[in-house]
Amino acid sequence: MVKLEDLYAFIEKNFDFLLVVDMNEKIIHANQSLVRECAPEEIQLEGKLLKDVLTDSSLNTFASAMGNAREGSRGIAVYSPIAKISCSLPLKASYSDTLRGGVYLFFGLHRDDFSNVSDWKRKQRIRELTCLYSVAEWIERADTVREFFIQLPDYINSGMCYPDAAVCYSVYQGMTYGQKPSSCLSVELTVSRQVCGEILVGYMNDDYEFLPEEQKMLNEIGRMIGLALEKKALSQRLKDLEEEIEVRTKDLDEQNRKLNIVDSNLVMVNKGWEESKTYLEAIFQTIPDDVALIDRNRRLMMTNRQEAEPGTKCHRAFFDRDVPCQDCRLKRIIADKAPLTLTIKHNDKYLQVYAMPIYNQNHEVDAIIEFFRDVTLEMTYEQQIQQADKMASLGQLVSGVGHEINNPNQFIQGNIRILKQALDDMLPIVEEYHKDHPDLTIARLKYDFFREHIMTLVDDMARGSERIKGIVKALRSFTQRNEGLLVDTIEVNTIIEASVRLVHDEVHKRADIDLDLAENLHTFAGNSQKIEQVLINLILNAGQAMPDDRRGRITIRTSKVRPDAILIEIQDNGRGMSEQTAKQIFDPFFTTKRNMGGTGLGLPIAFKIIEEHRGSISVDSRLGVGTTFSIRIPAPSGS
């Protein structure tokens, strides 16, 4: 293998232009002459692909030349860049294996170099370049070093000014080739930085003089041969190494043959143990629950769990933990020397674990065997039953509490109306009295202050009573199945537009509402009032979620998510919710707006309404970013 830097130095000494391309057709080097001749100053060639630099016709010549060079034949490419179409340089193609991989080299001379010299010099220069090309190709074709040096005089002599009178003599590693001239040009052959021979070139007739270009040509040939010999030496070393590897492989095969004999004896010895192990493993595999045999170091000895490898720590294999479990059964069994049964939770699963000790001859716990049974379904059913029981109890409680609250509240509402009418009748009379008695006080309050606030107090009492009535109604609605029939033909976009109109005055104080409603959505059977109740609740919540220091934006979208379903999204850029809050918002009585009069029933009721319509509602929220509620409702095309 040769170094790229050596190739660059060699070619640039003999040619004006050099372009180097890797196997992916990426330019990895372009000398200054090529850049000045055929590339604008602002364009960087290195690192670009040929297809991004050359015209289509030029790229075709490069592809053909690279194919020929790869096969070891001559190839010519025409360099015509897109950025400077007027430039057209013919370049010779070559291929070389380097320490960095295979590369294609394109090199050539300036077209004006031959125009200012005499015909004789031009022909001599052509002869020298032809000689260099021929030697480079012969280096690649020669099968052996001896064959190369025997044929070398034919190539070098053709590059001399007087080829018929030229004599070539070479020495390499003690071997001599050709006829030694009396007066000559010479160049040392350097391989891996060591002088291994030389090449002498002279004329049979001393009357012939040497040209400076002939010595230069010989120097470059010497450099080329040195690089080629270094490459062949490396190839020979690789071949010797392969032969050595082959010999050693045969030795290893012999050793393996002997080991196989020993192994066959061991197999016979361990056959009984293997049969017992196979029998035990078969029993393990037939057990439906996960089973694990664990030693005192918490390593799996055997398990029927396919993905768990024997030798792995039990807490890593079963629970993906780096440290032992806090309730480690092994530790407890070693201490108590007794089996135990317990239920643990891992991720979203509940596992019932039965662990038994395995004793050694000294009646010490040497290992344990554990059985894991998934009881998630049973636990879920139990929780659902408990929740249903709680809801039934809540329904009974709410029914009684609602009745007890509504009765006195009705008295309050009726008395407030009477009180308000009485005040409306009395205040004009008191006004007249106040004119003659400016120091009048009522309930130890100056009359002016009393008159300004008394009706507000009465109105607040009326609103509070109405709120009590609304809470009781919401409680009853949540705990009792609503009998409203799902018989309306629901057009989602129409209900959204109506809901926005209803809440506009309230929400517009804090946020703007944008509608992005898809057209031609399917209708579905439902209860329009209930759907409107859900939408109004979500839009009002979005408006209340806006921070005080800026105006917010609420976006309501509709779309068709499947051929038979509709998606409604209500998105705001308000304060957002924490992950914990988002998990609890559909729980009854959970609210973050207690100080604003929230009851914690709006979203649970909305959840229940959407569930009645065979749909689903979910929330995605991030603190400081905003919240998006997504409602999916089935809407078959035939509805």
Q: How far apart are CA 503 and CA 541, in angstroms?
A: 11
- Cα torsion at 503, 506, 510, 513 (round to 10°)? 20
Q: How far apart are CA 275 and CA 415, in angstroms?
A: 92
pLDDT, residue 476, reads 64
Amino acid at 170: S
CATH of the domain at 310: 3.30.450.20
pLDDT, residue 512, reads 93
Is the pLDDT at 388 greater than 60, yes or no? Answer: no
pLDDT, residue 113, reads 43
Starting at the edge strand found earlier in the chain, the sheet holding 365-374 runs 300-303, 290-295, 365-374, 349-359, 340-346
Is the pLDDT at 124 greater than 80, yes or no? Answer: no
Instruction: Look over the chain and give the mean of its residue pLDDT values, rounded to a whole number.
Output: 79
- The verdict on 64 and 148 lying in the same domain is no
Q: Is residue 639 part of a domain?
A: no
Q: Is residue 113 part of a domain?
A: no
- The verdict on 497 and 425 lying in the same domain is no
CA angle (244, 249, 253) in 5-degree steps: 155
| CB-neighbour burial class of residue 40 (10 A; exposed 0-12, middle 13-18, buried 19+) | exposed
Work out whether the CA dihedral 123, 124, 127, 132 comes out positive or negative.
negative
pLDDT band at 568 (very low <50, low <70, confident <90, very high): very high
CATH of the domain at 563: 3.30.565.10
The three-state DSSP-derived secondary structure of 215-253 is: HHHHHHHHHHHHHHHHHHHHHHHHHHHHHHHHHHHHHHH
Say what the pTM is: 0.32
- The verdict on 503 and 603 lying in the same domain is yes
DSSP string for 307-357:
TPPTTSBHHHHHH--SS--TT-HHHHHHHH-S-EEEEEEETTEEEEEEEEE
Best-predicted range by mean pLDDT among 156-160, 537-541, 582-586?
A: 537-541
pLDDT, residue 117, reads 42
Residue-wise pLDDT tens digits, 79-95: 888 877 667 777 888 88
Q: Kindly state the average pLDDT of the residues 339-357.
A: 81
Residue 256: which residues within 8 A CB-CB, separation 6 or more? none
- The verdict on 94 and 36 lying in the same domain is yes
Q: Kindly state the average pLDDT of the residues 211-230.
A: 76
Q: Is residue 469 part of a domain?
A: yes
pLDDT, residue 539, reads 92
Domain boundary among 456, 479, 502: 479
Q: Is residue 530 part of a domain?
A: yes
Q: Kindly state the average pLDDT of the residues 587-602.
A: 69
- The verdict on 441 and 558 lying in the same domain is no
pLDDT band at 570 (very low <50, low <70, confident <90, very high): very high
Say how many domains are in the chain: 5
Q: Is residue 499 part of a domain?
A: yes
Pairing of strands 511-517, 552-562: parallel
Tokens 């957002």 belong to 576
- The verdict on 86 and 150 lying in the same domain is no
Q: Is residue 253 part of a domain?
A: yes
pLDDT band at 598 (very low <50, low <70, confident <90, very high): low
Domain boundary among 374, 395, 427: 374
Best-predicted range by mean pLDDT among 126-135, 381-390, 540-549?
A: 540-549
pLDDT, residue 479, reads 57
The three-class DSSP label of residue 604 is helix
- The verdict on 420 and 388 lying in the same domain is yes
Contact predicate 464/457, CB 8 Å:
no
Q: What element of type H or E holds 549?
A: none
pLDDT, residue 271, reads 67
- The verdict on 273 and 338 lying in the same domain is no
DSSP string for 56-108:
HHHHHHHHHHHHHHHTTS-EEEEE-BGGGTT--EEEEEEEEEETTEEEEEEEE
Identify the domain containing residue 513 by its residue range: 488-634
Contact predicate 564/573, CB 8 Å:
no
CATH of the domain at 189: 3.30.450
* Residue with more model confidence, 586 or 39: 586
- The verdict on 279 and 132 lying in the same domain is yes
- The verdict on 296 and 403 lying in the same domain is no
pLDDT, residue 190, reads 83
Q: Kindly state the average pLDDT of the residues 185-203.
A: 84
Is the pLDDT at 387 greater than 60, yes or no? Answer: no
Residue 403 bridge partners (DSSP): none
CA distances from 106 to 7, 10, 11, 50, 139 (A): 12, 13, 10, 12, 18
Q: How far apart are CA 442 and CA 150, in angstroms?
A: 134
Lowest mean pLDDT among 122-136, 249-263, 314-328, 546-560: 122-136
Q: Is residue 96 part of a domain?
A: yes
pLDDT, residue 116, reads 43
Q: How far apart are CA 526 and CA 610, in angstroms?
A: 10
Residue-wise pLDDT tens digits, 434-470: 888 888 888 888 888 888 888 888 887 887 887 777 6
Domain boundary among 450, 479, 508: 479
- The verdict on 436 and 404 lying in the same domain is yes
Backbone φ and ψ for 174, nearest 5 degrees, come out as 85, -15
- The verdict on 134 and 225 lying in the same domain is yes
Token digits of residue 189:
């052959």
* Residue with more model confidence, 110 or 515: 515
Pairing of strands 445-446, 441-442: antiparallel
Q: Is residue 85 part of a domain?
A: yes
